């Protein structure tokens, strides 16, 4: 099956993950908006005419690059959480791409509401895309502490 941390045996992995995901989401939204604003200024204002579309493009690459390189976005790193694949490894480029695309599709549809509900009721705090890809968000400190043992 998977080698994901057991939510009962390793409860510290999932402690406050939903709250940290929410805070990280706000931090990332502010960062994406700021980057989009800077790009709009650098294009001598032309970017402001396409701000919404530019915001989506910046958001996609911001999230994809963060997940591909660090297995977390800037907001996630600030709140101390990270993604793990089904065998407990950090994300690679393919998982980053699949998770980012899935998340963007969920945001564009009502599936994001389903995802939030799943995060609240599943034992590993997994959203819809997490369940499909068999991934989890865990507390980085708990994972690194268990790596030291």
> How many domains, the chain?
1
What is the reported pTM? 0.90
Does residue 54 lie in a domain region? yes
pLDDT in 10s for each residue of the chain, 149 residues: 468 889 999 999 999 999 999 999 999 999 999 999 999 999 999 989 999 999 999 999 999 999 999 999 999 999 999 999 998 899 999 999 999 999 999 999 989 999 999 999 999 999 999 999 999 999 999 877 766 54
Does residue 4 lie in a domain region? no
Which structural domain range is residue 86 located in? Answer: 11-147
Does residue 99 lie in a domain region? yes
> Quick one: which H or E segment has residue 139?
strand 136-139
What backbone phi and psi angles, to 5 degrees, belong to 115? -60, -45
Pair of tokens at residue 88: 């407990």
């Amino acid at each position: 099956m998977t080698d994901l941390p057991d939510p009962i045996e390793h409860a510290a992995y999932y402690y406050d993950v939903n709250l940290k995901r929410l805070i990280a989401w706000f931090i990332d939204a502010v960062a994406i908006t700021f980057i989009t604003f800077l790009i709009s200024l650098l294009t001598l204002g032309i970017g402001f005419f396409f701000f919404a579309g530019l915001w989506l493009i910046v958001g996609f690459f911001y999230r994809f690059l963060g997940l591909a390189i660090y297995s977390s976005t800037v907001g996630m790193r600030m709140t101390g959480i990270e993604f793990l694949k089904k065998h407990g490894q950090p994300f690679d480029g393919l998982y980053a791409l699949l998770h980012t695309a899935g998340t963007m599709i969920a945001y564009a549809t009502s599936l994001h509401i389903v995802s939030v509900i799943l995060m609240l009721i599943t034992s590993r705090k997994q959203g819809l895309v997490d369940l499909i890809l068999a991934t989890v968000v865990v507390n980085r400190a708990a994972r690194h502490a268990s790596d030291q043992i």
